[in-house]
Structure 1
């Protein structure tokens, strides 16, 4: 019996597998597709933007440089960790196809930022992400079985059983569905999936196009919808506001795709040949809970929405990083009461916010006068410093904040990449998947304050190049600040926070590892 079976070997399933493998869990990943390669997973059709929060997750596990290399971004696309202040973002992103000017983003207004090797936005593709994660998973002893179609699941108080079409079964103490928007695990386990129906059918395609030069580059909002002319000739994305009528109802023909492109773009371009095409919608749905007994969900299995802004991939990676250490602690019998329940409590509101963000973009894109009036207002707002900064916070993941039981403004946010005087960065300390206690006090106030956490909390002491006025910080394995002190660290308050998240009572005579 495995500790965890994960259904789905996409970026979310592999991210979760890496987190669990790093914590010493036995993990089996089941994937329906026979192989990892697909034209829809490589650039440009498979192109995705990783937010600052997702890039930080790769950095904290030592996978950022391999990802930069696999993404063809070894050209300085990473951050500048040696700068005195965080660098301005190179890209601003977009809202409903309306581009943000990075020069208008007020970097100083973004909360608790420090220089970091992780870029604010990394353009990559799904195959690059999955390649890096697959290599990491293999190093950690994770087993991946491809060509497995799940046909049934069952569970009891001790574990779950997954049945493969054809008769094989797989047992585990926990089952996690990371199998996408049409999740078999979600359906078989009986999760409620609620939300709103689609407004448009979206298309991505690679075609031989006569009149390519008539299409304007990148995002183009038009009176009939939106189209995206990607940098590589013949690669197009478009959105047709037909109520989602065409999505997966039939294979799009050349004539249909040409008619949609002509209508949306207002040009007379001709498709001479269609090499590949796929459809999607803005259907926005979410499960009411992310756990039922021994079955959990993450990524698109738990929430679906329009792919505008690349929020789906980033939200899914956030799910995996949040769930991984909590499920591992539960597997090893180290979790405090209710720790696993915080997965739904923390991540469900984040996805709900992303769904609303998606709905707001769709409302602004509709080819009708009310939406076009909204576009005028949005363009005015994102043209201001405050408006551009607000939009960037949402796109970068800087807005994410959890209730961790502390009123400190840094608590519940992603930890800044503190640089200690010996040259060690916080990201360096997190590569083994443990939490970190940073003690900036001269007399090492937290030293010798806890026991039972040695395998889960790394203690590091000493001045930092910029401590942001803090005395100490406790960082969870997912990079979220669980507790922070502005003054000389309060050992009792630290121990309460550590006990809340790591669960083992302390005695005063053991030094954290």
Structure 2
């Protein structure tokens, strides 16, 4: 069992999506979660466009779209000028407001339906790594026990037991700002997309599917390293009224909380047979609602690589690319979160002028809007190409291309357990024999985006990123590309 078994510590959205990906790759997986039930308090509220694409690539988006509330804009640092998502090249040009508790429940249902084992009330306490497996120590409802796995993945949060036991550093900066939030009913809710930033503080109101609103913000008193005690409804009312002049008739809080801006990044996402994903790998101020999304995207990058390694068709060194590709994304997340924290939690005249300047740039320069929107939504994530002469599409996320000869688009064709070779000439792929880890689709692009108009063949990874793209008429090019990628030379 151990040689094809993965244990995941942590059954939040990241661990559950990873479990589902491993099952789609043909790997047995057990999720060990300390909580006996899903936490009704939802730290995360937002599914970003790239995460919705990730769900769509596995046909899992339907329940989320049915329950979530689409919001066609986002914010950067709580600037008055919102980011317009309508021009983004995606089937989902919006964020989806959905409490994490529901996201987690839907992901658990998805993982269980694929055959994952999810054990609640089971806490990973440590491990011993051997040459061919990991012995994981667990405390469960019936006491302590050990279970053996080929790999252990820590999806167990910022205080990760797995990361600590592996001796992986978590360097960064301490918390100096405490934001606050309250999930409440509002008798006089503000307009959709409401946000206000003044010298007295900043407040945003986000509608929730259950009729409540989340009021979230910061004020000059938020700059502290001293814990002021738990947030109360009266304190939230005072803070919101100081900024907006109105408490919006807030009542019946379901959650009141404070959160800090400690920012840390794991020194390594992999050490031997132990890997990290999500909050176990990166911690940051929750600006823009990106944290859970980046974690799910970590899992999407890791799942197929780990499954391919265990199933025996992985290119050489594939698992090492997990750190090489996702660690820079975590570093960028940290930098952008710190930048947004300065904008939304600083109330000096200088920062007010900076906010005004950035807002003017977003309004006047569509390229600035698109740049920030693609960074926020992760649609702009590009993994480095090993070959400096590679086609510019290499490493980018492939859009949901429409193809002739089928009513399905690319997301429906991407395989979780194999690379997908797109023959866009409809002329066949000579010299590309069937092999594990490879699927082939022949058909031209129906409405090719500008960046794809010269592409004659492309190799798409299971996570939807482009492994190789070719433009020439040499019929041997796809065969050589497949051989290079699957041998780990590209």
Question: Smaller-chain TM-score range?
Answer: 0.7 to 0.9
For 1:377, the equivalent position in structure 2 comes to 357
> 1:180 Cα shift?
1.5
| Matches of 1:217 and 1:502, distance apart in 2 | 47
| Superimposed CA distance per residue, residues 156-193 of structure 1 (whole angstroms, 9 cap, x where no aligned partner) | 22222222233122221100011112222112222111
For 1:51, the equivalent position in structure 2 comes to 48
| Superimposed CA distance per residue, residues 44-73 of structure 1 (whole angstroms, 9 cap, x where no aligned partner) | x7521x2222111111101112321243x5
For 1:390, the equivalent position in structure 2 comes to 371
> 1:488 Cα shift?
2.4
Aligned counterpart in structure 2 of residue 425 of structure 1, from 382, 399, 409 = 409
Q: Indicate if the aligned counterparts of 1:59 and 1:118 stay in contact, CA closer than 8 A.
A: no
2:289 is equivalent to residue 292 of structure 1:
no
Residue correspondence of structure 1 range 52-67 to structure 2 within 5 A: 52-67=49-64
For 1:471, the equivalent position in structure 2 comes to 456
* Distance change >3 Å, CA 425–CA 489, structure 1 → 2: farther
> 1:26 Cα shift?
0.6
Q: Indicate if the aligned counterparts of 1:61 and 1:433 stay in contact, CA closer than 8 A.
A: no
| Matches of 1:496 and 1:361, distance apart in 2 | 45
User: What TM-score, normalized to structure 1?
Assistant: 0.84
> 1:263 Cα shift?
4.7
Aligned counterpart in structure 2 of residue 325 of structure 1, from 284, 291, 304 = 304
Q: Indicate if the aligned counterparts of 2:57 and 2:411 stay in contact, CA closer than 8 A.
A: yes
| Matches of 1:432 and 1:355, distance apart in 2 | 29
Residue correspondence of structure 1 range 182-221 to structure 2 within 5 A: 182-207=159-184, 218-221=194-197
| Superimposed CA distance per residue, residues 431-478 of structure 1 (whole angstroms, 9 cap, x where no aligned partner) | 55422100011422x244235xx3321101122213432101100011
* Distance change >3 Å, CA 123–CA 487, structure 1 → 2: farther
| Matches of 1:269 and 1:441, distance apart in 2 | 59
Q: Indicate if the aligned counterparts of 2:18 and 2:302 stay in contact, CA closer than 8 A.
A: yes
Secondary structure (helix, strand or coil) at the match of 1:167 reads: strand
For 2:315, the equivalent position in structure 1 comes to 336
For 1:440, the equivalent position in structure 2 comes to 424
Aligned counterpart in structure 1 of residue 433 of structure 2, from 450, 462, 471 = 450
For 1:167, the equivalent position in structure 2 comes to 144
Q: Indicate if the aligned counterparts of 1:214 and 1:267 stay in contact, CA closer than 8 A.
A: no
* Distance change >3 Å, CA 186–CA 429, structure 1 → 2: same
Aligned counterpart in structure 1 of residue 115 of structure 2, from 126, 133, 141 = 141
Q: Indicate if the aligned counterparts of 2:30 and 2:118 stay in contact, CA closer than 8 A.
A: yes
| Matches of 1:381 and 1:169, distance apart in 2 | 56
> 1:24 Cα shift?
0.7
> 1:376 Cα shift?
1.5
Q: Indicate if the aligned counterparts of 1:106 and 1:389 stay in contact, CA closer than 8 A.
A: no
> 1:117 Cα shift?
4.2
* Distance change >3 Å, CA 465–CA 213, structure 1 → 2: closer
Q: Indicate if the aligned counterparts of 2:36 and 2:120 stay in contact, CA closer than 8 A.
A: yes
- Unmatched segments (≥5 aa) in structure 1: 78-89, 506-513
For 2:294, the equivalent position in structure 1 comes to 315
For 1:245, the equivalent position in structure 2 comes to 225
Q: How many residues align?
A: 471
* Distance change >3 Å, CA 201–CA 331, structure 1 → 2: same
| Superimposed CA distance per residue, residues 183-223 of structure 1 (whole angstroms, 9 cap, x where no aligned partner) | 2211222211111222321222235779x679997222121
> 1:271 Cα shift?
7.2
- Unmatched segments (≥5 aa) in structure 2: none
| Matches of 1:149 and 1:238, distance apart in 2 | 33
User: What TM-score, normalized to structure 2?
Assistant: 0.87
For 2:396, the equivalent position in structure 1 comes to 413
For 1:122, the equivalent position in structure 2 comes to 96
Q: Indicate if the aligned counterparts of 1:64 and 1:118 stay in contact, CA closer than 8 A.
A: no
> 1:133 Cα shift?
1.9
| Matches of 1:268 and 1:324, distance apart in 2 | 45
Aligned counterpart in structure 1 of residue 202 of structure 2, from 226, 229, 237 = 226
For 2:66, the equivalent position in structure 1 comes to 69
